[in-house]
């Protein structure tokens, strides 16, 4: 057993204590799955990213919540790119993160702690409201309901309605078909706003969810007839994203700030 470096980064924010905190663990090779899950549970952040360096600007990446591994995570990818870029080759124009199930994510440093990330766009599929959805939404009737690869997406009337949303988490967790719930509405100062809930993964409300915006961006681009939009996730911490349709890709741009650097003392295990 060897000790490993550990970083914590606030993603999708320009200031500490905002955005979504993620842990980043650079490794030569991925540790056993059981150990990665233990580390993520110990960190108790919405995601811990493990990143294996495979060449100049080339990496493999995996993400774990406190409860399980996930297919895709935007904010922890942003956090990983920030740590690797700041500690490495500042001449890199692109960074490529190969995932297990979500293809390759291309990240571009934009300067001043900002990065753009290209993801495959998800086309929201209109569906009928699943049984119990209004109960999950505390009695609210959504204006529209969609499904993505991972999540169910509901459109609410306005930002005030979204701000006051208090989901029934046991009912949401029982909705086994979906990873979680994305709720969205037109914004007051932004093109659109959102909140995201993942109790089945140990995260009642995620502060800022990059992966959700691969679904939200195509939805609002079509509704607003705009390619480039400003978005905010209105959790308690809150976070800002620039969302842009680039053909069949969604480009998300945001900032990141390093909060913590340290070392995990894994030699002491056992």
List residues with catalytic annotation.
47
* φ/ψ of residue 215, rounded to 5: -95, -40
Give per-residue burial for 195-230: e unless 16+ CB within 10 Å, then b.
Answer: bbbbbbbebebbbbbbbbbbbbbbbbbeeeeeeebe
Query: What is the spatial distance between Cα 125 and Cα 152, in angstroms, rounded to a whole number?
Result: 10
Per residue, the 3-state secondary structure of 156-195, as one string, reads CCCHHHHHCCCCCHHHHHCCCCCCCEEEEEECCCCCEEEE
- Non-local CB neighbours of 178 within 8 Å, separated by 6+ positions: 147, 150, 151, 152
Instruction: With beta carbons less than 8 A apart as the criterion, state whether 210 and 73 touch.
Output: yes
Give 22's strand partners.
9, 47
């Amino acid at each position: 057993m060897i000790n490993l470096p550990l970083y914590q980064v606030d993603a999708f924010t320009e200031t500490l204590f905002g955005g979504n905190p993620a842990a980043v663990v650079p490794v030569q090779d991925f540790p056993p799955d059981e150990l990665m899950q233990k580390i993520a549970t110990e960190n108790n952040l919405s995601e811990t990213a493990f990143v294996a360096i495979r060449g100049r600007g080339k990496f493999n990446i995996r993400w774990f919540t406190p409860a399980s591994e996930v297919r895709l995570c935007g904010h922890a990818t942003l956090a990983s790119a920030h740590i690797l870029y700041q500690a490495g080759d500042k001449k890199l124009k692109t960074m490529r993160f190969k995932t297990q199930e979500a293809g390759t994510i291309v990240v571009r440093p934009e300067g001043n702690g900002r990065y753009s990330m290209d993801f495959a766009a998800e086309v929201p599929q209109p569906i009928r409201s699943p049984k119990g959805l209004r109960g999950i939404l505390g009695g609210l009737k959504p204006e529209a309901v969609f499904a993505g690869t991972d999540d169910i997406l509901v459109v609410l009337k306005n930002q005030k309605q979204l701000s006051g949303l208090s989901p029934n988490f046991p009912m949401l967790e029982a909705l086994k078909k979906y990873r979680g719930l994305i709720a969205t509405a037109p914004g007051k100062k932004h093109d659109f706003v959102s909140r995201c809930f993942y109790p089945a993964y140990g995260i009642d409300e995620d502060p800022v969810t990059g992966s959700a915006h691969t679904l939200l961006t195509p939805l609002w681009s079509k509704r607003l007839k705009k390619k480039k939009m400003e978005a905010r996730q209105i959790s308690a911490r809150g976070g800002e994203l620039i969302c842009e349709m680039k053909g069949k890709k969604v480009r998300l741009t945001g900032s990141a700030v390093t909060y913590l650097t340290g070392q995990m003392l894994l030699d002491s295990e056992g």
